[in-house]
């Protein structure tokens, strides 16, 4: 019996009444627990306070018998007390619009999560669609928008298809370019630091200055820039390989063959 009690407490975490607790989700889980155990309403109203603690338990102890003696009345009072108010709904809605699909998270899990949270705060189906589309990975979002889904089910279908067919090659390329740019910045910073050190020696200063003037930028082919952000090739598309952030005259890629 002691082991069973430990398992039950693990499945249903005690409700404290803290603002971070989701009252609707918690009471739903408790009702599923009651149904699984085969408890009637009399047993359920007796068990419920065993899973309350801190502020929530003090709230229960302050209730009159007219509420605690009826399970349905008790759960309604619980939701009225700890359910989301207008301010909480606004905060949770704002958080939904900022939620992004994470690396390794499937489309199905992401849409299911946002749909449930959106319904909890009273969002319409159109609003839930906007939240989902806004949070999808960029390549999947573009694929979905091209197919103009009208319902959440259509959105789910196109998003799952995009997850299987859309390549992450462009996104990976952008990440590689960004990593190279960061490395170039670091190398340039080290070069500047070394140059400043040699300024104490006039002969070394002159030599370093000449070498830097002769150095060429590997992205645009012009003289070396003090800041890569000033490079005219930044954000431009190569006419040879169609990749970004360099000109064709310094392109190192093999030319593409049109099929």
Length of the chain: 259
pTM reported for the whole predicted model:
0.41
61: part of which helix (H) or strand (E)? helix 54-61
**Residue 255 domain flag:** no
Residues 148 and 199 in one domain: no
pLDDT at 198: 61
Number of folded domains that form the chain: 3
Phi, psi angles (nearest 5°) of residue 101: -65, 125
**Residue 176 domain flag:** yes
pLDDT at 1: 43
Give average pLDDT by consecutive 10-residue segment, the chain, 259 residues.
46 76 82 88 89 88 88 87 69 82 87 82 84 90 88 89 70 61 78 66 57 72 76 84 84 64
Residues 18 and 59 in one domain: yes
Residues 70 and 20 in one domain: yes
Q: Which of 165, 200, 215 is the last residue of a domain?
A: 165
Is residue 215 helix, strand or coil?
coil
pLDDT at 29: 87
Among all chains, which residue has been given the structure tokens 């093999």? 254
Residues 188 and 158 in one domain: no
pLDDT at 172: 54
At a CB cut-off of 8 Å and minimum separation 6, what does 32 contact? none
pLDDT at 259: 41
Residues 143 and 212 in one domain: no
- Domain range spanning residue 209? 169-250
Residue 154 to residues 112, 133, 134, 144, 149: CA-CA distances in angstroms?
A: 14, 12, 16, 9, 5
**Residue 159 domain flag:** yes
**Residue 96 domain flag:** no
At a CB cut-off of 8 Å and minimum separation 6, what does 225 contact? 217, 231
Q: Which two tokens stand for residue 56?
A: 């929530």
**Residue 35 domain flag:** yes
In DSSP notation, 167-209 reads: --HHHHHHHHHHHHHHHHHHHHHHHHHHHHHHTTSHHHHHHHH
Q: Which two tokens stand for residue 43?
A: 């047993």
pLDDT at 5: 46
Residues 73 and 23 in one domain: yes
Phi, psi angles (nearest 5°) of residue 206: -65, -40
Residues 193 and 141 in one domain: no
**Residue 93 domain flag:** no
**Residue 225 domain flag:** yes
Residues 76 and 111 in one domain: no
DSSP state of 250: G
**Residue 121 domain flag:** yes
- Helices 138-147 and 125-135: angle between axes, nearest 10 degrees: 140
């Amino acid at each position: 019996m002691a082991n069973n009690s430990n398992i039950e407490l693990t499945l249903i975490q005690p409700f404290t009444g803290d603002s971070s607790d989701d009252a609707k989700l918690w009471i739903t889980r408790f009702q599923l627990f009651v149904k699984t155990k085969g408890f009637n309403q009399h047993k359920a109203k007796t068990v419920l306070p065993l899973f309350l603690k801190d502020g929530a338990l003090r709230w229960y102890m302050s209730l009159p018998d007219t509420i605690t003696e009826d399970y349905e009345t008790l759960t309604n009072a619980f939701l009225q007390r700890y359910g989301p108010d207008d301010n909480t709904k606004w905060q949770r809605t704002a958080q939904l619009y900022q939620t992004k699909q994470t690396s390794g998270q499937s489309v199905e899990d992401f849409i299911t999560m946002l749909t449930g949270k959106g319904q909890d705060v009273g969002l319409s189906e159109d609003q839930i669609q906007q939240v989902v589309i806004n949070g999808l990975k960029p390549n999947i979002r573009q694929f979905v928008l091209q197919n103009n889904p009208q319902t959440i089910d259509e959105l789910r279908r196109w998003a799952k298809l995009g997850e299987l067919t859309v390549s992450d090659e462009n996104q990976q390329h952008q990440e590689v370019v960004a990593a190279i740019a960061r490395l170039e910045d670091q190398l340039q910073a080290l070069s500047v630091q070394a140059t400043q050190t040699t300024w104490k020696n006039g002969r070394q200063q002159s030599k370093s200055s000449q070498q830097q003037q002769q150095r060429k930028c590997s992205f645009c082919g012009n003289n070396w820039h003090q800041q890569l952000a000033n490079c005219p090739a930044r954000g431009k598309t190569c006419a040879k390989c169609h990749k970004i952030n360099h000109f064709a005259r310094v392109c190192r890629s093999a030319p593409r063959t049109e099929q």
